Amino acid sequence: MNPTCARRSFLHTSLLAGAALAAPRHLLASTPAAKPSFPVADYHVHLSPQLSIEQAVNLGKERQVQIGILEHPGPGYKIQNDADLQQYIDGLRPYPVRIGLQPVYAGWSKNFSKTILDQLDYVLMDALTLPRPEGGWLAIWQIDTMVDDAEEFMTGYTKFIEQVLTTEPIDVFGWPTFLPVPIARQYKQLWTRHRIDHIIDLVRARKIAIEINEVAHVPDENFIVAAKHAGLKFTFGTDARNQNAAHFYYCYQMAQKCRLTEADMFVPKRK
For residues 44 and 213, is the Cβ–Cβ distance under 8 A?
yes
- For 116, list phi and psi in degrees, rounded to 5: -85, -40
Q: Is 255 helix (H, G, I), strand (E, B) or coil?
A: helix
Q: Does residue 270 lie within any of the structural domains?
A: no
> Which domain does 40 fall in, by range?
3-264
**pLDDT for 21:** 40
Q: Does residue 269 lie within any of the structural domains?
A: no
**pLDDT for 26:** 40
Please tell me the distance from the alpha carbon of residue 124 to that of residue 166, in angstroms, as a whole number. 14
Q: Does residue 26 lie within any of the structural domains?
A: yes
Sign of CA dihedral 154, 139, 218, 186: negative
Domain with 78 in it: what CATH number?
3.20.20.140
Mean pLDDT, 10 residues at a time, over the chain (271 residues)? 43 46 43 89 98 98 98 94 98 98 95 97 97 88 92 96 97 97 96 98 98 97 98 98 96 97 97 90
Whole-prediction pTM value?
0.90
